[in-house]
Amino acid sequence: MRRRYIVAIWLVLGLTLMTILMYNIFGVSKLSNMKTTFGVSKRNNTKTTDCNCIKIRTPDEPTNITSRDTKEEKMSTHKENTDTNKAAEQRHYGEPGYVFVGTKRMNMFPKTVNQSDLDFSNYFSDAEVKKRNLVLLGGVMKCGTGTMKTFLKEHPSIRDAVGLQVFFTYNFGIQWYLKRLPKCKENEWAFTRCTNCFMNTDSLSLINNINELIGKRLKLLFIIRNPVERMISHYTQLKAGNKTLLPPIGHWIKEQISNPNTSGALQKTRYIDYFPVWYRMVGDKNILVLEHEEFVNTPWIAMQRVEKHLGLNPFFNENSFLLRKAGKYYCYKTKGPQMEECSHNPNSKGRIHVDITEKERTILRDYFRPFNERLFKFLNVRYKWE
Ligand SMILES: Nc1ncnc2c1ncn2[C@@H]1O[C@H](COP(=O)(O)OS(=O)(=O)O)[C@@H](OP(=O)(O)O)[C@H]1O
């Protein structure tokens, strides 16, 4: 009899334990939308009842979201543009989420978004939108864009559109961008950079739409660099972030050149493939292309070109910059308590490049020569890139 009681007690205990376990598993499966797909926190795809967040789709987001939402896509560690664009298609506001830019996990969603925020008129009137002057540094990655941003921010007529950096590669809906553009007075410019926009056709169409909305007040800025050096810089950056998987530079170059249409590194460096479409989009007078060597060696000349391009009052001159002893790069000069100082660490950007043989350099040089020739003709310049 006593034995039966003990068995019964064990049964009850067992059943309770099983129920708790089942409940937990069920609960977890309900929350499985917290898993990541395409590097996007799926929390943002859940309905109100599941996670207490609102599913928001802005009018200009693609409509095929639901079919994509159901797919369990494996998260890859390395996301180039194609993947990030796919990711953009299923992005929604809601609880904080994140995206992967390359392998970097970045927070991107505003913490709270009210349903009413969907109403465009909550932000600004049509007339106000037209007051946004935007200057976009559209690339190219590894050509000095970070330093250009540091310098430009010093100009009294430039307003940094902080929240926009890099995000033009994603389609969050046009309001998302417009909302983050600071209001500008007549002679002021909101500035942001988007180094990956250069060869991203989705960015291009998004930017084109924004340009239309702001009354074609968009000016574009690009910095380009000797393609061989840009490739080595690109590889050096990859190497710094991915020490094991990357082949030696010689192999990497061969790999890129045998897959020219899928190599993001080559695409970014074949400048002539993308400039015509940018020029067509904004017209010749709204686009300025600078060259890396000039920017590094005589930043005041490059910055004066930018001022002229934007119709700004002269602010930068040779005296605005400081080259520290044994330093490679100029910085913007400020007055410190005792002496002239740099507004930022000029060595915060710029890596020591990996070694590369002359033969490997020649392979790159030969590959890019015809593209460079076409570019020079297009831009009507000739850089010393050999
Ligand atoms: N102070 C200063 N002045 C002018 N130019 C500078 C400066 N610091 C860095 N650099 C150059 O910028 C290169 C990095 O380019 P980006 O800032 O576009 O890189 S990134 O795309 O944001 O990663 C960087 O490339 P690497 O040296 O190949 O790393 C430099 O050529």
Mean pLDDT is highest, among 80-84, 85-89, 109-113, 287-291, for 287-291
Catalytic residue flag (residue 142): yes
| Residue given tokens 């002229």 in the structure block | 308
Do residue 230 and residue 335 come from a single domain?
A: yes
Total count of domains within the chain? 2
Tokens of 56: 């928001």
**Mean of per-residue pLDDT scores for the chain:** 73
Give the closest residue (by CA) to ligand 1 atom 4.
296
Mean pLDDT across the stretch 345-373? 90
**Residue 1: band (very low, low, confident or very high) from pLDDT cuts 50, 70, 90:** low
148-163 per-position pLDDT tens digit: 999 999 999 999 886 6
Q: How far is the CA of 134 from the centre of ligand 1 (A)?
A: 23
Q: Say if 22 falls within a structural domain.
A: no
How many of the other CB atoms lie within 10 Å of CB of 312? 21
Arithmetic mean of pLDDT, 4-32: 62
Q: Which atom of ligand 1 is nearest to the CA of 232?
A: 28
Does 195 sit in the ligand 1 pocket, CB within 6 Å?
A: yes
Same domain, 129 and 211: yes
Nearest CA to ligand 1 atom 12: 144
Q: Provide the percentage of residues in the chain whose pLDDT is more than 90.
A: 39
Residue 206, domain CATH: 3.40.50.300
Kindly state if the Cβ of 346 falls inside 6 Å of ligand 1: yes
Annotated binding site: 225, 233, 330, 349-353
Domain boundary among the residues 115, 144, 162 is at: 115
4 falls in which pLDDT band (50, 70, 90)? confident
pLDDT for 230-270, tens place per residue?
999 999 999 988 766 899 999 999 999 999 988 999 999 99
Same domain, 289 and 336: yes
List helix spans (H) across the chain.
Answer: 2-30, 48-51, 65-70, 81-89, 126-129, 145-152, 174-180, 201-213, 227-241, 249-258, 264-269, 271-282, 292-297, 299-310, 358-379
pLDDT band at residue 347 under the 50/70/90 scheme: low
pLDDT at 377: 92
Answer positive or negative: Cα dihedral of 349, 250, 166, 134: positive
Give a yes or no: residue 44 inside a domain. yes
> Considering the domain boundaries, does residue 157 fall inside one?
yes
Average pLDDT over every residue of 346-364: 88
Q: Taking 80 as the threshold, does the pLDDT of residue 2 lie above it?
A: no
Q: Residues 321-339: pLDDT tens digits?
A: 998 777 789 999 987 666 6
**φ, ψ of residue 37 in degrees (nearest 5):** -125, 135
Q: Which atom of ligand 1 is nearest to the CA of 353?
A: 28
Same domain, 110 and 160: no
Confirm if 220 and 285 have CB atoms less than 8 A apart.
Answer: no
DSSP 3-state percent helix, strand, coil across the chain (nearest 5): 50, 15, 35
Name, in order, each residue with C-beta under 8 angstroms of 117's C-beta and a sequence gap of 6 or more.
93, 175
- For residue 171, what pLDDT band results from cuts at 50, 70 and 90? low
* Cβ pair 218, 189 in contact under 8 A: no
Task: Determine, yes or no, domain membership for 250.
Answer: yes
The two three-digit tokens of residue 299, written as one number? 């930043």
What tens digit of pLDDT does each residue of 268-312 get?
999 998 888 888 888 899 999 999 999 999 999 999 999 999 999
Q: Is 147 in the pocket of ligand 1 (CB under 6 A)?
A: yes
pLDDT of residue 210: 81
Distance between CA atoms of 196 and 117, rounded to whole angstroms?
28
Quick one: 91 and 138 in the same domain?
no
For residue 136, what are the domain limits?
Answer: 125-379
Evaluate if residue 72 carries a pLDDT over 50: no
pLDDT above 70 coverage of the chain, percent: 65
Quick check: is 267 in a domain?
yes
Domain identity same for 151 and 231: yes
- CA distance linking residue 259 with residue 262, whole number of Å: 6
Condensed to tens digits (0 to 9), the pLDDT of residues 92-144 reads: 322 233 433 334 444 433 333 334 434 445 455 666 666 678 999 999 999 99
CA distances to 61, 141, 288, 308, 309 from 151, in Å: 34, 17, 16, 15, 15
Cα distances from 329 to residues 29, 225, 276, 297, in angstroms, run: 54, 16, 31, 8
Residue nearest atom 24 in ligand 1 by C-alpha distance: 350
Atom of ligand 1 nearest to the CA of 296: 4
Asked whether residue 87 carries a pLDDT value surpassing 80, the answer given is no
Segment holding 136, helix H or strand E: strand 134-137
What does the pLDDT read at residue 348? 67
Q: Is the CB of 139 under 6 A from ligand 1?
A: no
Residues annotated within the binding site for 3'-phosphoadenylyl sulfate are: 225, 233, 330, 349-353
For residue 13, is it within any domain? no
Mean local confidence (pLDDT), 3-18: 77
Residue 294 and residue 169 in one domain = yes
pLDDT at 58 exceeding the cut of 50: no
Is ligand 1 within 6 A of the CB of residue 138? no
The stretch 202-228 carries a mean pLDDT of 87
Task: Give yes or no: residues 167 and 311 share one domain.
Answer: yes
Q: For ligand 1, is residue 165 a contact (CB within 6 Å)?
A: no
